[in-house]
């Protein structure tokens, strides 16, 4: 799949085949894609919790108000950050967002579907997910990504809006 095709066709899919597990080699490729994301000063402050335990996945909807899809997803990845690894303080959310985006794009190439559920900066959701996944106190739980096989597929939607583009300066002068 070409990268622009993946970008333009990727959509958040919330319906998964409960019976089809994601293969270990595909999970590793998703994590390699995530870890290939750019980061400030190449600090790579991320860490990941791979969630394939059904009972753990089924607990997510009781914590995350938009996490219902985890009750049928065969795989979840928690994208986390260790701020102590940063070279440039305060950039870990951008670094982790790039890692999440790489996961989402890689799912397209691997025949998978996914949806991103943000945690940070929602302190309550982040705290509860950290408790569920036994994430250390000094680590941030940035986001959860539900991943699996699905009959639902993304389709190209033209979201380009020229009114949101400014040239050289906001006022165009």
Q: Given pLDDT bands bounded at 50, 70 and 90, which one contains residue 137?
A: very high
pLDDT value for 1:
58
pLDDT of residue 22: 97
pLDDT at 5: 84
**Do 161 and 118 form a contact (C-beta atoms < 8 A)?**
no
Is the pLDDT confidence value at 126 over 90? yes
Residue 13 neighbours by CB under 8 Å, 6+ apart? 113, 114, 115, 150, 152, 153, 154
Structure pTM?
0.93
- Whole-number Cα distances in Å, 36 to 91, 103, 131, 168: 16, 10, 28, 31
Distance between CA atoms of residues 81 and 86, nearest Å? 9
Find where tokens 């260790």 sit.
Answer: 82
Residue 132 parent element (H or E): helix 123-133
In whole angstroms, what is the distance from residue 148 CA to residue 74 CA? 6
Q: List the beta bridge partners of residue 144.
A: 78, 117
Domains identified in the chain and CATH numbers: 10-150 (3.40.109.10)
Q: What is the DSSP string of 89-119?
A: TT-HHHHHHHHHHHHHHHHHHTT-EEEEEE-
Q: Which of 53-67, 106-120, 144-158 has the lowest mean pLDDT?
A: 144-158
8, 118, 26, 22 alpha-carbon torsion, rounded to 10°: -110
Residue 153 has pLDDT above 90, yes or no: no
pLDDT 10s digits, 102-116: 999 999 999 999 999
């Amino acid at each position: 799949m070409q990268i622009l095709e993946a970008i333009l066709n990727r959509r958040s899919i919330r319906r998964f085949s409960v019976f089809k597990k994601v293969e270990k080699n595909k999970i590793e490729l998703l994590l390699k894609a995530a870890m290939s994301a750019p980061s400030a000063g190449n600090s790579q402050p991320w860490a990941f919790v791979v969630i394939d335990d059904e009972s753990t996945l089924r607990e997510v909807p009781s914590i995350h108000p938009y996490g219902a899809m985890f009750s049928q997803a065969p795989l979840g990845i928690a994208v986390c950050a260790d701020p102590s690894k940063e070279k440039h303080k305060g950039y870990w959310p951008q670094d982790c967002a790039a890692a999440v985006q790489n996961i989402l794009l890689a799912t397209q190439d691997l025949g998978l579907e996914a949806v991103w559920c943000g945690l940070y900066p929602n302190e309550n959701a982040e705290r509860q997910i950290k408790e569920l996944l036994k994430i250390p106190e000094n680590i941030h739980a940035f986001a959860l990504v539900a991943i699996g096989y699905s009959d639902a597929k993304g389709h190209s939607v033209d979201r380009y809006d020229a009114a949101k583009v400014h040239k050289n300066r906001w006022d165009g002068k």
